[in-house]
Amino acid sequence: MFARQQAAALGGVKGRLDGAGVALVAVGSGSTDGARRFAEKLPFAGEMYVNWDLSAYRAFRLERGLWKTLGPASVLRGIRAMMDGFRQGRTDGDLWQQGGVFVLGPGEKILFEHRNAFAGDHADLGAVIAASVG
Amino acid sequence: MTYGELKPRVAGVFVQSVKGEAVPLESLWQGRRIVLVFLRHFG
């Protein structure tokens, strides 16, 4: 549900990213079949990759833990997401792994970083856009 | 986090395209700017 919500929000600003020559790239922890289904259902127009062994998540020091997914803050965000019309679909991937958003490149540059502290703790899209299009 | 801190951690890390191709993680932003979104899981 939160992945759908986050991907839908980012998909909504893809036009602005395209206009600035910035690519939208998503990495998920599930299977390639799950990634295809996810991208088709939303739809999600960015590039999609998978990292089932979570090595990329660890490299970026992203959070992982049962209570980061099931804690009260996540439950509240989940209720809000459901009120916005998002529903939990068939899950594919690591349920306890948290996400994040980074603006990178070209080359050795980190322009923005946000690590979700808990499920539903998404990055401020305005800040993402500002860092991306500069 | 500085790039100097990230660089050794992403060295040797690969992601897989939906076509099943292994792609070096760092290559995703070598020649372009990207917004990299880590999703929790698909669903």
**Chain B contact for A77, CB < 8 A?**
no
Tokens for B3?
């790039």
What is the model's pLDDT at position B7?
97
Please give the residue that has the higher pLDDT: either A11 or B39: B39
Q: Which residues of chain A does B15 touch, with a Cβ-Cβ cutoff of 8 Å? A: 27, 49-51, 56
User: Quick one: closest CA in A to B28, which residue?
Assistant: A25
Residue at A124: amino acid letter: D
What is the model's pLDDT at position B10?
97
What is the model's pLDDT at position A119?
74
Interface test with B, best of A41, A108, A133 (most B CBs within 10 A): A108
- Look at the pTM and tell me if it is higher than 0.80: yes
What is the model's pLDDT at position A3?
65
Q: Tell which A residues from 12 to 31 touch B, by Cβ distance under 8 Å.
A: 17, 20-31
Which structural domains are found in chain A, ordered by start? 2-133 (3.40.30)
d(CA A2, CA B39): 8
The pLDDT tens digits of the residues spanning A59-94 come to 999 988 777 676 667 667 666 666 676 666 667 777
d(CA A46, CA B26): 17
Residues in chain B: 43
The pLDDT tens digits of the residues spanning B4-32 come to 999 999 999 999 999 999 999 999 999 99
What is the model's pLDDT at position A74?
65
Tokens for A101?
């958003």
What is the model's pLDDT at position A106?
97
The pLDDT tens digits of the residues spanning A7-64 come to 777 777 888 899 999 999 999 998 898 888 888 877 788 899 999 999 999 999 998 8
- Cβ-based burial of A128 (10 A; exposed 0-12, middle 13-18, buried ≥19): buried
Show the domain range for B25: 1-43
Q: Tell which B residues from 2 to 41 touch A, by Cβ distance under 8 Å.
A: 2-3, 6-7, 9-10, 13-20, 23, 25, 28-41
Please give the residue that has the higher pLDDT: either A121 or A47: A47
Residues 6+ apart with CB under 8 A from B12: none
Which residue is associated with the tokens 């860092």? A131
The pLDDT of A97-112, averaged and rounded, is: 96
Number of domains composing chain B: 1
